[in-house]
A and B are shown apart, each in its own frame.
Chain A
Amino acid sequence: MSGGFAFQVGALARRSVLRTLRQPAMVIPSLFFPLLLLSINAGGLDSATELPGFPTDSYLQFALAIAFVQGALFSANSAGTNVSNDVETGFLNRLALTPLRRLALLMGQLAGIMALGLLQAVTFLVVGLVAGAGIEAGVTGAVVIVVLSLVISLAFGSIGAFVALRTGSGEAVQGIFPLLFAALFLSSMALPRNLIETAWFREVATYNPVSYMLEAIRSLVIFGWDGEALALGFACAGGVALIAILAASSALRTRMVRT
């Protein structure tokens, strides 16, 4: 007797969402820290808006996009930790003994990340609006921001899941967190790419997919509808997500050995 694929995904998704949201130690920092940093940066770097060519006179509006990506980094940590716990406790073996399909397991696990991602996106949007950062693209733009944010969460969450499945270790998951932060820092996080003075840094930021994720969200906040920015942002987030999901799926095939 086995359930349909969607039914299995649903059951696993339910578990993943419950266990993620029941860990305040995971949820609260992922909401609190991006907002704290946003608040600090808005006051600390507001003078940067006086630079010629700076696209807005509110650094809060410029920096709002960072919160979404930072939140996604916490998602990577959360996904990775939850999956590595399943490996270390043997819960994965329990699931392996059922008629469960591997892809259903992975998608179910990532559902928890999406739930957290949704909570983060809505929170950051609301706080941003209350703090005075208008969304130029309006309500529809806000919805697109949430969708893009979910894709970014999926991308980083899948990276976390891949590391957890590949290594089976929570420590290894903690170990990649700095690398992901490096990916965020070496981007157009703090200044628009055209205003980055240091040549090598600008070059790295140009090749860094995180830059395009930030710029896509930023375009909706500051400019309205910029098709190119959106396309690049979704392509980068979607591309990273696809690669990471494939990698995680492969790692799951090795990890969940069953004949």
Chain B
Amino acid sequence: MNKTDPFIVGFLNGEPDTFNKIYTESFPAVQRYIVNRSGSKQAAEDIFQNALVTLFVKLKNDELQIKSFNSYLFTICKNLWRRECSQNRVTNLPNTPLIDESVDLAKFSIEQKQWELYQEKFKELSENCRKLLTMSLKKIAYKDIVTFFNYASETVARQRVFKCKSRLTKLIKKDSRYLRLKP
């Protein structure tokens, strides 16, 4: 799907029938996802609206090719919700003019682009590295990683994680889309 797709054109033009289709087809799944993770219906609505605005800006300004509008929108909603949860923030978009949200949404938009870059580079790693890093990034204890991969010791496991992570960070940093982060 690209900018010339009639559905995308309808979305970018803000046509009510396109909005209706999006809300009917995509919102229930997003609401279920958020409510199942202790969010409210109101939070789900705000996340959904923020995701649509973010998607509008991306489609207007980036060379974005998406396979499925619904799946991509769902991914953005999931990441917005993860962001909300990790920062323990309160979303209250309807009472807040967009102008006050612009910096926050801009930051998220940048984070989303970086996350997509990480995902892309992660897929370039070997199968073994992907498995090992998935366990490490899920914070599974090294003793369990040792058992799982049948390594000789935790030192060996740490060395392997180091090698895979170095490969990944090298791939990310080499890409022109990488932006330096500050903690």
A, B in one complex? no
Chain A interface residues (CB < 8 Å from chain B): none
Chain B interface residues (CB < 8 Å from chain A): none
